[in-house]
């Protein structure tokens, strides 16, 4: 008996579209997405594509019309319902361009719900290019199978971040804290990572004074900020997020 192929096949191209998708709708694409489907993937009329809009899950669509720089896709059926991303935020002091790009890509793959650049005294990055970071998050979501994008918010000072925070905060403190492997409670939660130069003593005191803050240690070595962010997020997902075993 022939084996039943897994559905949907993993090799189908997967694209994010910033427009609402639904059964029997037609969507037009142009620019880099049309170029990707026709010139990179060499797909023509009748080919299948997976689409998601960040809200309604994932959809199977078929190329109905293909012009040089434009395509029409007809949406046929839903392949996945919207997923429940664990409500965990990653707050980080902006770092240099290559490292921040890497951080955003990997945090999206790991499942962060929201990314929050937080400006501290020793933050060195002059500007945070949110559009660029959002494009990186979209590409990562297309590649890893997420149906929801992480929200990437405007940079804010550490004091404003702490002032508005109403959820558990896990503060990665290279000076020491609770054992990360047993510290995390289920979401909602936020993780805070400092800049390359670390927090000032005053900032450290302010974070530790927050009633919902727990200082956590990520082991005996000093990690680069982006390594620390992803180590903390991965440990969160494994112990309290959606990698953790759910009884039953």
When binding is defined by CB under 6 A, the residue of 194, 207, 213, 230 that contacts ligand SAM is: 194
> Does position 219 bind ligand SAM by CB under 6 A?
yes
Among residues 63 and 172, whose Cβ is nearest to ligand SAM? Answer: 172
- Of 133 and 192, which has the nearer Cβ to ligand SAM? 192
Q: Which is nearer to ligand SAM, 151 or 196 (CB)?
A: 196
Q: Restricting to residues 153-192, name those near ligand SAM by CB under 6 A.
A: 172-174
Q: Does 217 bind ligand SAM (CB under 6 A)?
A: yes
- Cβ atoms of 107 and 190 within 8 Å: the answer is no
- How far apart CA 117 and CA 123 sit, in angstroms, is 10
Residue closer to ligand SAM (CB basis): 55 or 167: 167
Q: What are phi and psi of 106, to 5 degrees?
A: -75, -35
Cα angle 152, 221, 189; round to 5 = 35
CB of residue 176 vs ligand SAM: minimum separation in angstroms? Answer: 8
Considering only 83, 196, 200, 234, the residue that binds ligand SAM (CB under 6 A) is 196
Residue 193 binds ligand SAM (CB under 6 A): yes
Nearest distance, CB of residue 122 and ligand SAM, angstroms: 8
Q: Determine if 17 is a binding residue for ligand SAM (CB under 6 A).
A: no
Q: Contact region for ligand SAM (CB under 6 A) — 12-20, 26-34, 38-46, 193-201?
A: 193-201
Provide the mask over 91-110, with x wherever binding to ligand SAM is found by CB under 6 A and - wherever it is not: --------------------
Stated length of the chain: 248
The minimum distance between CB 183 and ligand SAM, in angstroms, equals 11
Of the candidate residues 100, 112, 225, 233, the single one contacting ligand SAM (CB under 6 A): 225
In the complex with ligand SAM, the residue whose CB is nearer, 27 or 118, is: 118
Among 125, 199, 236, 237, binds ligand SAM (CB under 6 A): 199
HEC string of the chain equals: CCCCCCCCCCCCCEEECCCCCCCCCEEEEEHHHHHHHHHHCCCCCCCEEEEECCCCCEEEEEEEEECCCEEEEEEEEEEECCCCCCCEEEEECCCCHHHHHHHHHHHHHHCCCEEEEEECCCCCCCCCCHHHHHHHHHHHHHHHCCCCCCEECCCEEHHHHHHHCCCEEEEECCCCCEEHHHCCCCCCEEEEECCCCCCCHHHHHHHHHCCCEEEEECCCCCCCHHHHHHHHHHHHHHHCCCCCCCCC
Q: What is the binding site for ligand SAM (CB under 6 A)?
A: 172-174, 193-194, 196-199, 217-219, 221-225, 228
């Amino acid at each position: 008996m022939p084996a039943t192929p897994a559905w949907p096949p993993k090799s189908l191209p997967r694209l994010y579209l910033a427009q609402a998708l639904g059964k029997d709708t037609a969507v037009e694409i142009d620019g880099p997405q049309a170029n990707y489907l026709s010139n990179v993937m060499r797909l023509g009329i009748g080919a299948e594509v997976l689409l998601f809009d960040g809200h309604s899950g994932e959809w199977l669509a078929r190329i109905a019309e293909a012009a040089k720089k434009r395509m029409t896709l007809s949406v046929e059926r839903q392949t996945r319902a919207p997923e429940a991303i664990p409500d965990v935020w990653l707050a980080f002091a902006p770092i240099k361009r290559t490292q921040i790009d890497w951080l955003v890509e990997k945090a999206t793959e790991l499942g962060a719900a929201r990314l929050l650049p937080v400006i501290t005294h020793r933050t060195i990055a002059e500007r945070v290019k949110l559009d660029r970071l959002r494009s990186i998050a979209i590409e990562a979501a297309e590649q890893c199978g997420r149906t929801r994008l992480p929200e990437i918010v405007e940079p804010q000072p550490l004091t404003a971040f702490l002032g508005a925070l109403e959820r558990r905060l896990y503060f990665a403190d290279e000076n020491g804290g609770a054992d990360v492997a047993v510290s995390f409670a289920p979401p909602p939660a936020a993780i805070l990572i400092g800049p390359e130069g670390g927090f000032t003593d005053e900032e450290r005191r302010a974070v530790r004074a927050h009633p919902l803050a727990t200082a956590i240690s990520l082991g005996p070595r000093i990690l680069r900020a982006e390594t620390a962010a992803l180590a903390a997020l991965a440990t969160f997902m494994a112990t309290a997020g959606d990698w953790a075993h759910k009884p039953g």
